[in-house]
Structure 1
Amino acid sequence: MKIENVEQAETILELVKSNYFAKLKPENKKDHSFTIPLKVSGYNELNLMVSDLLKASIVLLNPEASSLSIITEYKNINVMTLLEIALQLLPEEEMELLDDLHKIHLKME
């Protein structure tokens, strides 16, 4: 049993050493902060993204906002931009690591 645990621990260490943790880029080692890459085509797209995030936040904080269709119809919020930001922020490589760790867990049962 101990040998199996050592082998599983070694497998986990090898997985962690691979390039799975790719989404967060270290920025400052003192306070352990990270940056997340966000691709934009230029300043105009960046401005539109930030503007849409702010508009959505303002409208959603409004207690009179009753449904998303009304919000987008009258407040000119580009939901596609918000969805694109969310897609870029998803940690795909890290999810692959979780899948591999889950497989190891299933073998242990």
Structure 2
Amino acid sequence: MKTKQEESATDFLKLVKNMKYFTKLKSDNSNGDLFNVTLKTASYNELNLMVSCLLKASICALKNDNSGYSSASESGIDVLLLLEMALQLLPDEEMQLLDEFHKNAIDRKAEQ
């Protein structure tokens, strides 16, 4: 016989499942301890601007922290978190493709 707590927990889990809560994090198949989050962006240019803004915010927070005016921790800015996000947003594979395009452009100029 189930206790009231077990029934409440079961009802709660059914509610969560039916209401489609907790859908933002997607399980990472390669590592069960990690999750993926989808970030929507209109273009690589917008992605570049997002990374630039994260880096600029980190620089400002670190400058303010070093000048003694305001601590990054006091203002609620976690610089390490911002830098980790920026690092994850960098499109590594696309940068390799840009290197190939650049190499081809240099080769074409040399042929002319």
Max radius of gyration: which structure?
2
Deviation at 1:26, TM superposition (A): 1.2
| Aligned counterparts of 1:30 and 1:54: Cα–Cα separation in 2 | 28
| Aligned counterparts of 1:55 and 1:65: Cα–Cα separation in 2 | 19
The one of the two structures with greater contact order (alpha-carbon pairs below 8 A, sep at least 6) is: 1
Match of 2:8, SS state, is helix
Partner of 1:25: 26
1:64 aligns with 2:78: no
Structure 2: stretches of 5+ with no match in the other structure: 71-112
Structure 1 residues 33 and 3, CA gap change in structure 2 (3 angstroms): closer
Write the deviation string for residues 51-79 of structure 1: whole angstroms up to 9, x where unpaired: 00001101111123847xxxxxxxxxxxx
Contact map agreement 1:24 1:34 (CA 8 A) in 2: yes
**Percent identity for Structure 1 against Structure 2:** 50
Match of 1:28, SS state, is coil
| Aligned counterparts of 2:34 and 2:13: Cα–Cα separation in 1 | 23
Write the deviation string for residues 26-85 of structure 1: whole angstroms up to 9, x where unpaired: 123534211111111100100000000001101111123847xxxxxxxxxxxxxxxxxx
Contact map agreement 1:27 1:34 (CA 8 A) in 2: yes
Tell me the number of residue pairs that the alignment of Structure 1 and Structure 2 aligns. Answer: 67
Structure 1 residues 65 and 36, CA gap change in structure 2 (3 angstroms): farther
Contact map agreement 1:59 1:65 (CA 8 A) in 2: no
| Aligned counterparts of 2:55 and 2:68: Cα–Cα separation in 1 | 15
RMSD, matched Cα:
2.5
What amino acid is aligned across from residue 23 of structure 1 in structure 2? K
Partner of 1:55: 56
| Aligned counterparts of 1:7 and 1:38: Cα–Cα separation in 2 | 37
Partner of 1:10: 10
| Aligned counterparts of 1:60 and 1:30: Cα–Cα separation in 2 | 33
Normalised TM-score (structure 2): 0.49
